[in-house]
Chains A and B, each alone.
Chain A
């Protein structure tokens, strides 16, 4: 009896060891790679190449070369460009130049040159990304007006951000400027796969050389990246506006101000500052800090086969600066005038954008379909409705409501 018990004890211990061994093996402890043996690709660029090929650029994370303490001023980021027959074969070709194991687990952005997006359907390239296990669906997508390889090489922050953190920080800038949409691979694919929406992708470019002649700036966000007037600064790149995609093809551009309008209608904007022409003293500019706290109220109606939208955008505002020296703080009638000037300007901008979307892009860039889609009972009903056709003929009644609540720390303008 004692022998049997002893045998059972041994058997149980062996089984326990086997279970422990299984857990180690299944958690991948047998094919690990040391950190120093890996090469992390952080940004990928896609450019046009002759034939059915693709010119692909990898930017690697190089912590010693991009040490923020050294200022990161002189050295270009480590990038490599090569010609590949397909997106999937790129890592293999890249591996011929490095002894390290190339991994895409830290890829944060995909830069696609506008030329490529005009010429070819980019969805097959994106398919190559989502099929591969290493890529995540939160990779930021950017369309570059310049070639992707030139764009990536120009990414040098003088303030000390390395190439990776620069891109990561830029993706959140829409929360403060509203001029650049944060579109990830996942967002883009969802928009492409629904077929009722047009996809957007952030637009970026290298600041153009030589500098464009300085001209009067009416309002921010009216220019495309690359032609925004500036001298010096942190980085030679400019992020503003968006490229519009139908399926996988680039069909047009939106300016930074138009992107703001899109994000306002989607309820995706945090805050932004908006310059308004002064209602009392034309030629003078006032600046409002605008906050979107609640998403817009969008009411679609369908009468006699015609779609119409009533869109109410509620915003909160704070007076940031004024050059007109009008007393907006104490005088309610002046405030009303300023509010109306802002609302009229935004309503006009949004209406122009929607008209452009209907006539030029022939599709919905603002995802207004979401306000309508859930009202249909079945998927078939929705497909039969043919949203895009109705959108092209739709009428819009857009109303902005600005609640001017704050005026900063100053009661009267300086020098009153």
Chain B
């Protein structure tokens, strides 16, 4: 078990909410608009609903507190196959962080620093990501609790502000590209919400399984609701195809808010919040990536991987030539072509994991160690709190 602190269920909710919602504020959201046409929010519901269902099926395999997703995969498939699967997840997550960093960096340059060289923005952003990740889960948990309040607070202010700009008559044909296309694209874009998987890496840091499950479900409901409202808001301000033509729809939406001559440039409020949330989110992803690396190498110290991973992310982000390419990379490679990989991993883990857990249950409570572990009886074993390991391995 990787040694780090403990977080509260509320912090789990905050972390998951930031990870999923934060992505919606950069250009990645355009993938849903592009394939969902005037029904982008329905595509979001389909894709997010599917991955949420998969996560809910994966959750019972994580009843044992001492096992994260990588441990469960290793237990379920054995060391060799488990290592291959974890490597694939590692590569997918690494690519995801790299592409997200590129998207966020372009937005930083557009909003704040148009004249600053890419490398400088990248290094500064990487530092802001790496340092909180180094501090560990307790710091990240507390920070994200503040961040989620900030994000939801700003959303609660900005959405009502856009009401005068909204026009219900701008509603496009309800099913957008058609029900079958929506369903197909929803399935293909399940990977858009692949970050949900990261919550399964956080299981060892929450003591009680029930509260862990509840916090994940709460986060999913928050993400679905806020995501739906945000997409609908955007559609009513920039109806399709205008929203498909923009790179930064939420920035543009904040930029057309106008309260007269003396209160202008309200977008600064949005931009600052977004910057904080984006960096908190990327920081979390770096932390999860380092956890995955530590799990794969059976190391108890995740911190030693962070500098190396940061270097890989830096060079990976520099390799992406532009924002359109980042969008294409995410859409085509990570989501459409990565979908069979991700879906196979999820489905195989659900099927084999549950089958093993059932077999173990039939064999007797004493053997119920693999897969669902002691949790197969629905009870998590109390674990002694491990001291945070700074520099130990």
Contact between B127 and A380, CB atoms less than 8 A apart? no
Looking at A247-255, A274-282, A367-375, the stretch in contact with chain B turns out to be A367-375
Known contacts A26-B108, A168-B261; is-contact A379 B128 (Cβ 8 Å): no
Minimal Cβ-Cβ distance residue in A for B169: A370
Known contacts A22-B128, A26-B128, A27-B112; is-contact A374 B256 (Cβ 8 Å): no
Contact between B115 and A22, CB atoms less than 8 A apart? no
Interface of A is mostly: helix
Residue A395 lies at the interface, judged by CB distance under 8 Å to chain B: no
Residue B238 lies at the interface, judged by CB distance under 8 Å to chain A: yes
On chain B, the residues within 8 Å of A377 by CB distance are 173-175, 178
Residue B37 lies at the interface, judged by CB distance under 8 Å to chain A: yes
On chain A, the residues within 8 Å of B265 by CB distance are 105
21 contacts between A and B (CB under 8 A): A15-B135, A22-B127, A27-B275, A30-B116, A31-B116, A133-B110, A133-B114, A137-B256, A165-B261, A190-B238, A190-B239, A190-B242, A193-B241, A194-B239, A367-B169, A370-B167, A374-B169, A377-B178, A378-B176, A379-B172, A382-B173
A-B interface contact total, Cβ < 8 Å: 97
Contact with B along A374-388 (1 / 0, CB 8 A): 101111111000000
Contact between B177 and A380, CB atoms less than 8 A apart? yes
**CB proximity of B102 to chain A, nearest CB, Å:** 16
Contact with A along B223-247 (1 / 0, CB 8 A): 0000000000000001111100100
Contact between A8 and B390, CB atoms less than 8 A apart? yes
Known contacts A137-B256, A190-B242, A379-B240; is-contact A374 B172 (Cβ 8 Å): yes
Residue A138 lies at the interface, judged by CB distance under 8 Å to chain B: yes
Could you list which residues of chain A lie within 8 angstroms of chain B, going by C-beta atoms?
8, 15, 18-19, 22-23, 25-28, 30-31, 105, 133, 136-138, 165, 168, 184, 186, 189-190, 193-194, 367, 370-371, 373-374, 376-382
On chain A, the residues within 8 Å of B38 by CB distance are 379
The CA-CA distance from A228 to B345 in the complex, in Å, is: 74
On chain A, the residues within 8 Å of B275 by CB distance are 26-27
Residue B113 lies at the interface, judged by CB distance under 8 Å to chain A: yes
Contact between B173 and A376, CB atoms less than 8 A apart? yes
Known contacts A31-B115, A136-B255, A379-B37; is-contact A373 B173 (Cβ 8 Å): yes
The CA-CA distance from A366 to B275 in the complex, in Å, is: 40
Q: Which residues B112-127 have CB closer than 8 A to chain A?
A: 112-116, 120-121, 124-125, 127
Contact with A along B80-122 (1 / 0, CB 8 A): 0000000000000000000000000000101111111000110
The CA-CA distance from A19 to B128 in the complex, in Å, is: 6
Contact between B124 and A26, CB atoms less than 8 A apart? yes
Contact between B112 and A26, CB atoms less than 8 A apart? yes
Minimal Cβ-Cβ distance residue in B for A139: B256
Contact between B169 and A379, CB atoms less than 8 A apart? no
A26-B279, A190-B239 given; 6 more Cβ-contact pairs under 8 Å: A22-B127, A190-B242, A193-B241, A193-B245, A374-B174, A379-B38
Partner of A379, one of B115, B116, B131, B176: B176
The CA-CA distance from A194 to B279 in the complex, in Å, is: 36
The CA-CA distance from A371 to B169 in the complex, in Å, is: 7
Minimal Cβ-Cβ distance residue in B for A14: B131
Residue B333 lies at the interface, judged by CB distance under 8 Å to chain A: no
On chain A, the residues within 8 Å of B258 by CB distance are 138
**CB proximity of A103 to chain B, nearest CB, Å:** 12
Partner of B113, one of A28, A374, A376: A28
Minimal Cβ-Cβ distance residue in B for A15: B131
Minimal Cβ-Cβ distance residue in A for B255: A136
Residue B159 lies at the interface, judged by CB distance under 8 Å to chain A: no
On chain B, the residues within 8 Å of A138 by CB distance are 255-256, 258
